[in-house]
Homo-oligomer: A and B are copies of this chain.
Amino acid sequence: MIHMKYYTIGVDFGSASVRTLVVDTATGQEVGCGIYEYTFGKAGNWQDDTVPTMVRQHPDDYVKGLEVSITKALKTARLHADFSIDAVVGIGIDTTGTTILPVLADGTPLACLPEFKDNPNAHIWLWKDHTATKEAREITQNALADRPAYINMVGGSYSAESFWAKVLHCIHTDKQVYDAAYDWMEISDWIPFLITGKTHVEEAVHNMCTATHKALYNPEWGGYPDKEFLLSLDPALEKVHCRLERAKVLTSDQPAGMLSKEWAVQLGLSEHVVVATSALDAHFGGIGAGIRPGTLVKILGTSSCDLAILKNQDVPIIIGGSVGFAHDSIIPGYLGIEAGQSAVGDMFNWFVSNIKPQNMSHSQHEKQARLLYPGQSGLLALDWLNGNRTILGDQLLSGMILGLTLQTTAAEMYQALIEAAAFGARIIHNHLEKQGISIEEIIMCGGIPSKNTHLMQTYADICRKPLRLAGSHYTSALGGAIAAAVCAGIYPSIEEAIKAMTSPSNSIYYPREKESGIYDRLYSMYKYLHDAFGKKGQAIDVFSVMKELLQLKEEVRGM
């Protein structure tokens, strides 16, 4: 008897490229892979020196990226003898978020209309666009006053990166675009809408992930925020409220629809392909990394996203620290918990590509940084070059490097940035643990961990946790394939599919006691500066930090 193999496709749209996997649903084996780099603007990002917080994209990059990356992935899959195009039964898609675009009633992006092609506000507002800081503050203040539960669910402050802040900012700054838009869609909902052949945006499926974590959706209060609250922010929000009130919000174990005939032809697939409800890239990353209670999944790329899940019955009361949480958001039946840092890889890239010390590459810097002993440089940095997401929840912060001397080297600065990122991570872990979320192990995925062994060891030493590399290089795309396998009926639940389709890697980094001991001292200085610069009204004695750094430097060099 021949046992039929089934395959699903996972498509992961990042900030600068899209990565697609074709996966064997029985084993999780990745049989095909395709990548497409965005071409619009600079690496897919439209930025403007006069508004440095603005980052926009064009929908064409997403449509072209979908086609090209799937075509490439299928081409490599065909090299496998067992593979057959008819055995592809599902597609799961993830994107960044809140990454939204204004659309007409039929789903046409405003950016594709001639009259709006040069207007950045008609384009896609990428997650890391921070133009809406004022609006985020306004939403936070209004909600704290009138709807504290809204703010509690996003950890104490609403982010400038999130849905309502961005929409409100468009109302405040470009009424023409706002009026021309029938609706605003998360790009994660727009792509399934497009490829399932729907013709009116009100038919679109909204995914639970972005709805809960980014747009204050919660079944407890009947879905999205209520009309009174939204209109208190701006009466013009009535339009968006009206659309969302009727929206269908699903979890990623539920199909968003079937692949349309037109798109089946376009992609060279059969018409019997289910499209899963999408998710945030990080959440599918958590699934692809094999998330489970007690294991924190840390996705390290341009930024970091830390994910944890708790069985619904184990849910503690979580307050503040800008930690988002929502039921059923990562895996149905679990409370999904999300924290993160606004710039990690972006910070290293800034140093290597903007400042360009000696025109050296990442690996050249890493090679030199590897020779440094903890504390030896006397440097200490704050990793807030793009603000702070968790636990301060404040975009209006900036980075710092302390301890510079005439002998300071570029490699020491590079290492100080790595350490700052890890100290920031430890702040998050400590906060989660205080809230009753246990972290026995950390699974690392995203673009950075597999490339940078020195960074992994530094993180392990600083965080004092075993760090395990995820089994896949493309955990988000794998997560998409897992969701698609559930939607196609191959597995009864995401948990079951995770068990079958992910396998942990044996690459584990353990903390080294001596190094960790020194880092404990640096961490306490970091915490000091973190609170001094990050929290209002602290009046902390920072003099002693500068002195202690020099003292530690002297001790370490004398060792």
Contacts and interface: CB of A to CB of B under 8 A. Distances in A.
Interface of A: 50, 52, 343, 346-347, 350, 354-359, 378, 385-386, 396-410, 413, 532-543, 545-547, 549-550, 557
Contact of A52 (B407, B536, B541): B407
A410 B352 CA distance: 11
A405 B540 contact: no
Given A52-B407, A357-B357, A538 B533 contact: no
A384 to B, nearest CB: 8
A405 B542 CA distance: 22
B386 A405 contact: yes
Contacts of A537: 541, 543
Contacts of A396: 547, 550
Given A357-B357, A534-B543, A398 B405 contact: yes
Contacts of A541: 537-539
Nearest to A395: B550
A542 B547 contact: no
Contact of A398 (B357, B358, B385, B402): B402
A532 B543 contact: yes
A541 B542 CA distance: 9
A72 to B, nearest CB: 30
In the complex, the count of this chain's copies comes to 2
Nearest to A544: B536
A404 B346 CA distance: 13
Given A404-B385, A550-B396, A354 B409 contact: yes
B400 A385 contact: no
Contacts of A545: 533
Given A355-B413, A538-B541, A539-B541, A549 B398 contact: yes
Contacts of A347: 406
A350 B542 CA distance: 25
Interface centre among A358, A537, A545 (most CB of B within 10 A): A358
Given A356-B410, A405-B386, A398 B550 contact: yes
A378 B533 CA distance: 15
Contacts of A547: 396
Contacts of A557: 50, 52
B409 A399 contact: no
29 contacts: A52-B405, A52-B407, A52-B557, A347-B406, A354-B408, A355-B357, A355-B413, A356-B359, A356-B410, A359-B359, A378-B398, A385-B406, A398-B402, A398-B403, A398-B404, A398-B546, A398-B550, A399-B403, A399-B404, A400-B403, A401-B401, A401-B404, A532-B543, A534-B543, A535-B543, A537-B543, A539-B539, A539-B541, A542-B542
A407 to B, nearest CB: 4
A546 B50 CA distance: 21
B346 A406 contact: yes
A51 to B, nearest CB: 8
Contacts of A546: 397-398, 533
A416 B410 CA distance: 18
B399 A405 contact: yes
B543 A343 contact: no
A546 B357 CA distance: 25
Contacts of A402: 398, 400
Interface centre among A409, A539, A546 (most CB of B within 10 A): A546
Given A538-B541, A546-B533, A400 B406 contact: no
Nearest to A536: B543
Given A350-B406, A401-B404, A537-B541, 12 more contacts: A343-B406, A350-B408, A356-B357, A356-B358, A378-B398, A385-B408, A398-B405, A399-B405, A532-B543, A533-B543, A533-B546, A542-B542
Contacts of A410: 354-356
A475 to B, nearest CB: 25
A374 to B, nearest CB: 17
Contacts of A400: 400-404
A302 B399 CA distance: 28
A537 to B, nearest CB: 6
Contacts of A398: 378, 402-405, 546, 549-550
A175 to B, nearest CB: 20
A328 B432 CA distance: 67
A101 to B, nearest CB: 23
